[in-house]
Amino acid sequence: MINSVICQDLGIKYPVFQGGMAWIADSSLASAVSNAGGLGIIAGMNMNGEQLKEEIRKTRSLTDKPFGVNIMLMSPFAEEVSDVVIEEKVPVITTGAGNPVIYMKKWLAAGIKVIPVVASVALAKMVERRGAYAVVAEGGESGGHIGELATMPLVREVCSAVNIPVIAAGGIADGAGLAAAFMLGASGVQMGTRFLVADECTAHENYKQMVLKAGDRDTIVTGRKSGHPVRALKNTFSRQYKEKEEDAAVTAEELDLLGRGALRRAAREGDTETGSFLCGEVAGLVTKKESAADIVRSVCEEAELLFKGAAQWVK
Amino acid sequence: MINSVICQDLGIKYPVFQGGMAWIADSSLASAVSNAGGLGIIAGMNMNGEQLKEEIRKTRSLTDKPFGVNIMLMSPFAEEVSDVVIEEKVPVITTGAGNPVIYMKKWLAAGIKVIPVVASVALAKMVERRGAYAVVAEGGESGGHIGELATMPLVREVCSAVNIPVIAAGGIADGAGLAAAFMLGASGVQMGTRFLVADECTAHENYKQMVLKAGDRDTIVTGRKSGHPVRALKNTFSRQYKEKEEDAAVTAEELDLLGRGALRRAAREGDTETGSFLCGEVAGLVTKKESAADIVRSVCEEAELLFKGAAQWVK
């Protein structure tokens, strides 16, 4: 077993979080990861309070283990769901797409462990001061909305700057990645892409096949120009979006229209043409479908072997 | 001491390469790193044959240890210097900015160990087939010309795909980074940014001060649009370049003119306004000036402690 402070503190067996991926991270995947001994996380995405409440309750019906909810701060329902997680006594909250400090006080007062996703040292230090239990330091090699820094320097720089636990995310899909993250000072990892192909992941089969087939250079970043970069698999949609955003004649409204519904079309309909298949650079390492339990366990077992064998590198 | 196959094979004490940075990596820095037990590397950059010959001879006058030359494949003198390294019996060649296979046969015939810098699994596999001794897998968090993938997923994916040694580069500046790289499967690391502030680095003092002061978010990437992305510190030059390249009214010639001489102005003149100060994302970890020997030794000693202590993470 891997010895990490976050396991004791969060009541989990393995220091592995499952990323709160929009249209992907539902009660099915989150409960499977939590049952496996990791921390499953429900994606709050753009759900309203009622919808999130239902997803939380479904998750509770499938697992009695701790789980988390990811609050997407740009959601129009952020305020509403920020109360739902308190009413529902969710043990862990991760936050994305912004600065969570306005909600932190009430979450902390409710006894919730708050773990913001950060892409810079400055935000990590700020949320530490406000009482965050830990941070997820997520590098730009991850799928979905990304920051500017890569995992290797970001995790190391954040670990050097804060005294709370750091969970490394971005570019991690196996035990070697987990072991590397620990060397950088992290106390756990968050994986998204690897869980896309989990048996309990309800993403459309086409999505899973695309991830399984993808190699190292099969993702593309769009939205850099608008300041909201997103990493996804190369396909008709992402290539077209990239082309259009570089075309000065295309308006922000047209781009917005093009993107609308694209995540749902990918995850739920498997529309390989017009869907946006968010995915990390690490897709090349994801080559087989497995249960969430097998993923969590094998990642940690691989890392354990590396930890035990590390003394071989010293002579 | 760290046990790595590259130490035995290359006749070095520590598995640490110093990156072949243009206008920076001269005989002074390269010999200091080699004398320290790492692998110093002379930047071939745009030198002609005579110039490179002189730099190699200067290096030899300063060290009797193995060193390398980095051949920049886009140089107008690439063909010429590709012969000089054979005449001068340089033990190790690294290559950058392109595909080195057209030169590899003659280098290998001369007994030179060829270690191409790669940014993708495909190039790593290709140069392995052609007889490369190893590859430097360099992630986009590094300074200077960068690829698309980040170090964490790139190194892991390259290590999973080839059977030759892999040297990890990009985002590595301390022992934690070296230890993380080994966990990913690497047999050594290459550092650039950390060596910018080495006592023996002849870069202008202004350059060193800028690196020492830089935090995690103080680099910027220009040239993505033209397909030749470069990472440098944010300053008047890099901000202006970025603005101009996004301005459709600015021609490629104007951009070229703006960039001409900018590396020399940074490294040799310390011109903080119009110089291009290439630097990695990891600058935030580089906080003090030291000798090359202290850098190489302390990085390896930190990593050794991590290797010896890794079993603590297993219970």
CA atoms within 13 A on the CB side of A65: 22
B300 touches A: beta carbon within 8 Å: no
Contact B217 A180 (CB under 8 A): no
Count of all residues that appear for chain A in the document: 315
**For chain B, what is the radius of gyration of the CA atoms?**
18
Has residue A97 got a pLDDT over 80?
Answer: no
Question: Smallest Cα–Cα separation from B180: which of A156, A159, A160, A149?
Answer: A156
Phi, psi of A314 (to 5 degrees): -110, 135
> Do residues A24 and A18 make contact, with C-beta atoms less than 8 angstroms apart?
no
Residue in chain A nearest B5 by alpha carbon:
A313
Q: CA end-to-end span of chain B, whole Å? A: 26
Residue in chain B nearest A281 by alpha carbon:
B153
Contacts of A3 in chain B (CB under 8 A): 312-315
Residue B97 pLDDT level (bands cut at 50, 70, 90):
confident
Residue from B146, B216, B245 to probe the interface with A (highest A Cβ count within 10 Å): B216
Cβ-nearest to B157 among A4, A285, A303: A285
Has residue A94 got a pLDDT over 90?
Answer: yes
pLDDT for residue A175: 98
> Do residues A77 and A48 make contact, with C-beta atoms less than 8 angstroms apart?
yes
Contact A280 B153 (CB under 8 A): yes
pLDDT for residue A248: 85
Provide the chain A residues 154-173 that lie in CB contact (below 8 A) with chain B.
154, 156-157, 159-160, 170-173
Residue in chain A nearest B284 by alpha carbon:
A157
pLDDT for residue B226: 84
Mean pLDDT in residue range A133-153: 97
pLDDT for residue A293: 98
Contact B281 A149 (CB under 8 A): yes
Q: Kindly report, residue by residue over B56-84, the tens digit of the pLDDT.
A: 999 999 999 999 999 999 999 999 999 99
A249 touches B: beta carbon within 8 Å: no
Cβ-nearest to A140 among B4, B150, B177: B150
Contacts of B120-126 with CB under 8 Å at 24 or more apart are B120/A216, B120/A217, B120/B147, B120/B148, B120/B149, B120/B154, B121/A215, B121/A216, B121/A217, B121/A284, B121/B157, B121/B158, B121/B161, B122/A217, B123/B99, B124/B158, B124/B161, B124/B162, B124/B166, B125/B161, B125/B162, B126/B99, B126/B101
B302 touches A: beta carbon within 8 Å: no
Contacts of A152 in chain B (CB under 8 A): 139, 141, 150-152, 170-172, 177, 180, 282
Mean pLDDT in residue range A101-122: 97
Q: What is the pTM of this model?
A: 0.97
Mean pLDDT in residue range A258-273: 96
Least confident of A148-157, A187-196, B217-226: B217-226
Contacts of B284 in chain A (CB under 8 A): 121, 153, 157, 160
Geometric angle at alpha carbon B137, from B136 and B140, rounded to 5°: 125
User: What was the ipTM of the complex prediction?
Assistant: 0.96
pLDDT for residue A206: 98
Mean pLDDT in residue range A231-257: 94
SS (H, E, C) chain B: CECCHHHHHHCCCCCEEECCCCCCCCHHHHHHHHHCCCEEEEECCCCCHHHHHHHHHHHHHHCCCCEEEEEECCCCCHHHHHHHHHHCCCCEEEEECCCCHHHHHHHHHCCCEEEEEECCHHHHHHHHHCCCCCEEEECCCCCEECCCCCHHHHHHHHHHHCCCCEEEECCCCCHHHHHHHHHCCCCEEEECHHHHCECCCCCCHHHHHHHHHCCCCCEEEECCCCCCCEEEECCHHHHHHHHHHCCCCCCHHHHHHHHCCHHHHHHCCCCCCCCCCECCHHHHHCCCCECHHHHHHHHHHHHHHHHHHHHHHEC
Q: What is the mean pLDDT of chain B?
A: 96
A315 touches B: beta carbon within 8 Å: yes
Has residue A119 got a pLDDT over 90?
Answer: yes
H/E stretch holding A115 reads strand A113-118
Residue A227 pLDDT level (bands cut at 50, 70, 90):
confident
Contact B152 A183 (CB under 8 A): no
Q: Which string of DSSP letters, residue by residue, matches A182-245?
A: HHTT-SEEEESHHHHTBTT--S-HHHHHHHHH--TT-EEEE-TTTT--EEEE-SHHHHHHHHHH
Contacts of A188 in chain B (CB under 8 A): none
Question: Smallest Cα–Cα separation from A144: which of A191, A186, A176, A187?
Answer: A191
Provide the chain B residues 4-43 that lie in CB contact (below 8 A) with chain A.
4
Contact B141 A152 (CB under 8 A): yes
Bridge partners (DSSP) of residue A39 are A17
Mean pLDDT in residue range B137-144: 97
Reduce the DSSP state of residue A290 to 3 states and report it. strand
B185 touches A: beta carbon within 8 Å: yes
Residue B248 pLDDT level (bands cut at 50, 70, 90):
confident
Residue A98 pLDDT level (bands cut at 50, 70, 90):
confident
Q: Kindly report, residue by residue over B17-45, the tens digit of the pLDDT.
A: 999 999 999 999 999 999 999 999 999 99
Q: C-alpha distances in angstroms, B13 versus B4, B27, B181, B301?
A: 9, 19, 18, 12
Least confident of A280-294, B102-116, B250-264: B250-264
Residue B299 pLDDT level (bands cut at 50, 70, 90):
very high
B307 touches A: beta carbon within 8 Å: yes
Task: List b or e across B41-53, with b for residues whose CB sees 16 or more CB atoms inside 10 angstroms.
Answer: bbbbbbbebeebb
Contacts of A315 in chain B (CB under 8 A): 1-3
Residue B284 pLDDT level (bands cut at 50, 70, 90):
very high
Residue B277 pLDDT level (bands cut at 50, 70, 90):
very high
Residue from A313, A314, A315 to probe the interface with B (highest B Cβ count within 10 Å): A313
CA distance A113 to chain B (A): 23
Contact A149 B217 (CB under 8 A): yes
Q: Kindly report, residue by residue over B196-246, the tens digit of the pLDDT.
A: 999 999 999 999 999 999 999 999 999 988 889 999 999 999 999 999 998
pLDDT for residue A226: 84
